[in-house]
Amino acid sequence: MRVVARAGCEVQVSGIDLDTKQVVATFPTPELRAESFEAIRNRGYTVVPRTA
């Protein structure tokens, strides 16, 4: 598991599939999740949220 820290928040990345470009991560707050998804979209990627 990889942890990405930003501004006191930690995003836990539990899986990365380079073939499908799928990343599985856990966000500590809904606000950080929304901000992260927006940044991903701004880079031209598609976000497909999954529910547990």
Distance (Å) of CA 10 to CA 7, 39, 41: 8, 16, 20
The tens-digit pLDDT sequence of the chain (52 residues) is 444 555 567 888 889 999 988 888 888 889 888 988 898 899 998 888 876 5
How far apart CA 38 and CA 1 sit, in angstroms, is 23
Residue 44: the pLDDT is 92
